[in-house]
Amino acid sequence: MKSPQIKSPNYTIRPFEKEDALLWQKWDTDPEIQAHMPELRNEAQDISTQYEYIEECENDEDGYYWSIETRDRTTIGIVSLFEIDPHHKTVDLGIVIGDKEYWGKGVATEVVNTIKEYAFNTLGIARISAEVEEDNLPMKKVFEKTGFEQDGVFRNARAKNGKRINVLHFGICNTKQRL
């Protein structure tokens, strides 16, 4: 689906643009940024592969994909609603703040709140889910601050650095949503 542009108080959440692919190449190979991603370790991808991904996201009927931009048009991360189930009205949320200068400054909290409100009020979503690796304490705090509750633990769900790690499952329900 073509993602709409959304404004939060301090950021613009906009559809992917071709130029974003250059940042992704950098973010995909930064060990600090990738530390809590599901993939074992990303390799730098050919730019044409990144462009194809942007096109796939635009054509995905089950998701919305955005870049996060500051007021001065600096792209600092990405956020998505994916695996939308129109019957059950559920969706998964993912977010990465790729520009490390913005870590710990409330960006993820503001963006998650904005996307949560969009999902509930515009899309009519009943439940949003998200996963966080157990040792990713900053993202765990973001979900707790934005009203998500931990509702499960996937024990030994991923293999990282030669050991099994747990993945926490978070969810939030739209109390105004009716069948």
Asked whether residue 1 is domain-assigned, the answer is no
Asked whether residue 142 is domain-assigned, the answer is no
Asked whether residue 139 is domain-assigned, the answer is no
Asked whether residue 49 is domain-assigned, the answer is yes
Asked whether residue 65 is domain-assigned, the answer is yes
Domain count along the chain: 1
Please indicate whether residue 122 or residue 177 has the higher confidence score (pLDDT): 122
Asked whether residue 175 is domain-assigned, the answer is no
Give the residue-averaged pLDDT of 160-169.
Answer: 93
Q: What is the three-state SS of the chain?
A: CCCCCEECCCCEEEECCCCHHHHHHHHHCCHHHHCCCCCCCCCCCCHHHHHHHHHHHHHCCCCEEEEEECCCCCEEEEEEEEEEECCCCEEEEEEEECCHHHCCCCHHHHHHHHHHHHHHHCCCCCEEEEEEECCCHHHHHHHHHCCCEEEEEEEEEEEECCEEEEEEEEEEECCCCCC
Asked whether residue 16 is domain-assigned, the answer is yes
pLDDT at position 169 is: 98
Give the residue-averaged pLDDT of 39-49.
Answer: 74
pLDDT at position 42 is: 65
CATH number at residue 75: 3.40.630.30
pLDDT at position 95 is: 97
Q: Which domain holds residue 49?
A: 6-126
Asked whether residue 160 is domain-assigned, the answer is no
pLDDT at position 74 is: 97
